[in-house]
Amino acid sequence: MERVAIIGASMTQFGQREEWVVDLLTEAALDCLEDAAVDASAVEHLYVSNMASGEFEGQSGVMNAVAHDIGAVPAYTQRVDQTSSSGGAGMYAAWQSVASGASEMTLLVGGEKMTHKTTGEATDVIASLTHPAEYKTGVTLPSFAGLTARHYLERFDAPRESLAKVAVKNHENGVDNPHAQFQKEIDVETVLESPIVADPLRLYDFCPITDGSAALLFCPESVAKEYADEYVVVAGIDGATDTHVVHEREDPTVMGGVVESGEGAYEMSGYGPDDVDVAELHDMFTILEFLQMEGLGFAEQGEAWKLVEEGYTERDTGELPINTSGGLKSKGHPLGASGVAQGVEIYEQLVGEAGPRQVDADVGLACNVGGFGNCVITTIMEAAR
Amino acid sequence: MERVAIIGASMTQFGQREEWVVDLLTEAALDCLEDAAVDASAVEHLYVSNMASGEFEGQSGVMNAVAHDIGAVPAYTQRVDQTSSSGGAGMYAAWQSVASGASEMTLLVGGEKMTHKTTGEATDVIASLTHPAEYKTGVTLPSFAGLTARHYLERFDAPRESLAKVAVKNHENGVDNPHAQFQKEIDVETVLESPIVADPLRLYDFCPITDGSAALLFCPESVAKEYADEYVVVAGIDGATDTHVVHEREDPTVMGGVVESGEGAYEMSGYGPDDVDVAELHDMFTILEFLQMEGLGFAEQGEAWKLVEEGYTERDTGELPINTSGGLKSKGHPLGASGVAQGVEIYEQLVGEAGPRQVDADVGLACNVGGFGNCVITTIMEAAR
């Protein structure tokens, strides 16, 4: 079967935006088409990754509005929802649409508009993605993160500072990403002195609430060669769920969905953890970066914190740069956009368009996590040049 | 490429249900797996067609809840939304997941829980799928139907009764469907004397608000042969959009999405309109059955009403039985379930499990319409025996 390529990428400014989600999606979509020099009329399938435009804006059918606004009608449309991993699920949907032969030009756009809601309102919408037995008793995603972080630190004798260092690193990377919500450095003290959210985690252990959109353009490799000298190939992609009731899991530090989707993506690609040159992990909470590093085989269980301490994941000096984009922590986390934006960063790193964030990379990996690992997508991309 | 087969089908009782949508989805999913004698642990991908669980029930992440409740974890999950055609889009997603080689056993479940909302509340949610320029000025889907019906009747010199006869036929078919919301015959007078909703259309020209769920199980044909002697093959499937702003269309009686998706499905299958033995059309409003008959080539433009008058679409005596299930009109229209339930009816007709509704059919077609034709999926299925 012919390989699936990515020939264009874009993302809007992340942060507090005034536009409604359809305009954010349209902006990223048009930029992506321009980046690839492909006309909207060539788009056969359009996938929109978006978790909750109905809940956030009282507006549904946004995928049809985008098709209309970019001039892609009569392209087939579909909204892809997999909660916080909707963007990664969109990459899987786009891959399937091309790999199945259904479409020769598939545009994926992910986006969310959230900042017009209060933090409480936004938290209510996000909490509803978990099991009612948990969130209706007050155990929301930040609570899971706090409980898991405490368990991890005690069990593996990890210093509290190691979590803070994830945030510090990702903020440092975000300084060089003009689209990031926060472009400012922080230090370990900033994290440790910020307000407690879910003990031991504090405000700076968490990603912000964000508006924004990102897009990628998929086609068969033979079509990619017509449009571009350099492009990226989806080498491996797989998704998996874990127990929807989080407290049913045997080991709270093992995210089954990360392990399963990672194994699937490695197997499909023929690559292993040692082959990955750059990775975007879903650092909605700092502790998640440790759990994904371990679940994906970048570190042994209980040892990711040591790699972070040693600088292994630093952008300019580390063996495996993680979250060169700034991650969700500093770039921001517009739910449906985040997984797509991870793909955008890996694409830019692989085609050499990452500017001051550029690292030397032939193979990149993105891991997009929904809920507290309730559903996960891992994608491995490689440069074709 | 190997063909994609369907080896199991089920639907719950449609109507007013007390359960939340996750339990409705779980019921249909388990029944479908039992129908095919496939264990939940064999499911690799799970697609849930659902438009608005967040808006209707304040609950998101329902696909992960279903995976958990049926015992399919770590299966990959995704929610598929394409407004009222989410079920048809789910069939396309399921087809792509198998055709791309990503999954060898894909379960599709569509469902919606709506009746706990007032008609006004439900209408607000549904209206939000159209363009704000239209619904915010009061032009909702029933308005489009009324305007289009008036135009059709005048332009093509069709009697008002011909529309009523669509409702009468579909109610007659629904009497023999134990899962239908309404299992009662009506006559032309019932329709013509019911309250006006959007002149000239009256209450009995419209489908009801419904709770319910339906499921289908997809796999490669080689796998299907291991499980079943009789199964169904997806011969053709395609989706398309039309202008999202309905008033921009040149001819209000031509649904571009129906025409485009129909042509795509016919081309892929090698069949044409004359080869179709039975069809499920999206009769959310009676006028839509005419427009789909014409868009799919079953009738010339402006002549579908004559075929209905002549009995051409009657179940037991007609040349092309349409909506043998009772259609959305009498079976009900739980948004995300409807397209899947259309597929269930065609499946049952093709494998000879339609009981008192059984017709003689080798090739069946389902057309699922989102919005007022804003997005449409057409699926052609054939019996393999």
What CATH number does residue B109 fall under?
Answer: 3.40.47.10
At B173 the pLDDT is: 98
A130 occurs within a structural domain: no
Q: Check whether residue B179 and residue B99 sit in a common domain.
A: no
Quick: pLDDT tens for A258-302: 999 999 999 999 999 999 999 999 999 999 999 999 999 999 999
User: Around Cβ A250, how many Cβ atoms within 10 Å?
Assistant: 7
At B164 the pLDDT is: 98
Q: Check whether residue A68 and residue A171 sit in a common domain.
A: no
Give the Cα separation of B90 and A223 in Å (integer).
27
What is the mean predicted confidence (pLDDT) over A226-255? 96
Question: What total of structural domains would you count in chain A?
Answer: 2
A125 occurs within a structural domain: no
Q: Check whether residue A369 and residue A268 sit in a common domain.
A: yes
Domain that holds residue A353: 136-208+237-384
**DSSP-derived 3-state class of residue B47:** strand
B308 occurs within a structural domain: yes
Q: Check whether residue A244 and residue A364 sit in a common domain.
A: yes
* Residue pair A35/A219 in contact by the 8 Å Cβ criterion: no
Give the Cα separation of A51 and A31 in Å (integer).
22
Nearest CA in chain A to B75: A240
In chain B, which among 84-113 make CB contacts under 8 A with chain A? 89, 92-93, 95-97, 99-102
Q: Does B49 touch chain A (CB under 8 A)?
A: no
At A366 the pLDDT is: 98
User: Around Cβ A114, how many Cβ atoms within 10 Å?
Assistant: 28
Q: Check whether residue B244 and residue B221 sit in a common domain.
A: no
In chain B, which among 56-75 make CB contacts under 8 A with chain A? 58-61, 63-65, 67-69, 72-75
What is the mean predicted confidence (pLDDT) over A76-83? 98
Q: Check whether residue A276 and residue A152 sit in a common domain.
A: yes
B124 occurs within a structural domain: no
A228 occurs within a structural domain: yes
Give B83's contacts in chain A (Cβ within 8 Å). 60-61, 64
Q: Check whether residue B80 and residue B217 sit in a common domain.
A: yes
Whole-number Cα distances in Å, B51 to A53, A78, A319, B113, B245 = 11, 11, 44, 10, 20
At B385 the pLDDT is: 74
**DSSP-derived 3-state class of residue A61:** coil
Written as tens digits, the pLDDT of chain B (385 aa) is 899 999 999 999 999 999 999 999 999 999 999 999 999 999 999 999 999 999 999 999 999 999 999 999 999 999 999 999 999 999 999 999 999 999 999 999 999 999 999 999 999 999 999 998 899 888 999 999 999 999 999 999 999 999 999 999 999 999 999 999 999 999 999 999 999 999 999 999 999 999 999 999 999 999 999 999 999 999 999 999 999 999 999 999 999 999 999 999 999 999 999 999 999 999 999 999 999 999 999 999 999 999 999 999 999 999 999 999 999 999 999 999 999 999 999 999 999 999 999 999 999 999 999 999 999 999 999 999 7
Q: Does A13 touch chain B (CB under 8 A)?
A: no
**DSSP-derived 3-state class of residue A362:** coil
B128 occurs within a structural domain: no
Q: Check whether residue B248 and residue B264 sit in a common domain.
A: yes
Q: Check whether residue B85 and residue B19 sit in a common domain.
A: yes
Nearest CA in chain B to A61: B129
Q: Check whether residue A156 and residue A86 sit in a common domain.
A: no
At A385 the pLDDT is: 74
Q: Does B131 touch chain A (CB under 8 A)?
A: yes
Quick: pLDDT tens for A31-49: 999 999 999 999 999 999 9
Q: Check whether residue A365 and residue A289 sit in a common domain.
A: yes
Complex ipTM, two decimals?
Answer: 0.97
Give the Cα separation of B234 and B92 in Å (integer).
10
Q: Check whether residue B60 and residue B193 sit in a common domain.
A: no
Are B78 and A65 an interchain contact pair (Cβ–Cβ within 8 Å)?
Answer: no
Where a domain ends, among B175, B200, B232?
Answer: B232
B122 occurs within a structural domain: no
A336 occurs within a structural domain: yes
Q: Which of B78, B242, B255, B268 to mutate to test the interface with A (most CBs of A within 10 A)?
A: B78
Give B260's contacts in chain A (Cβ within 8 Å). 74
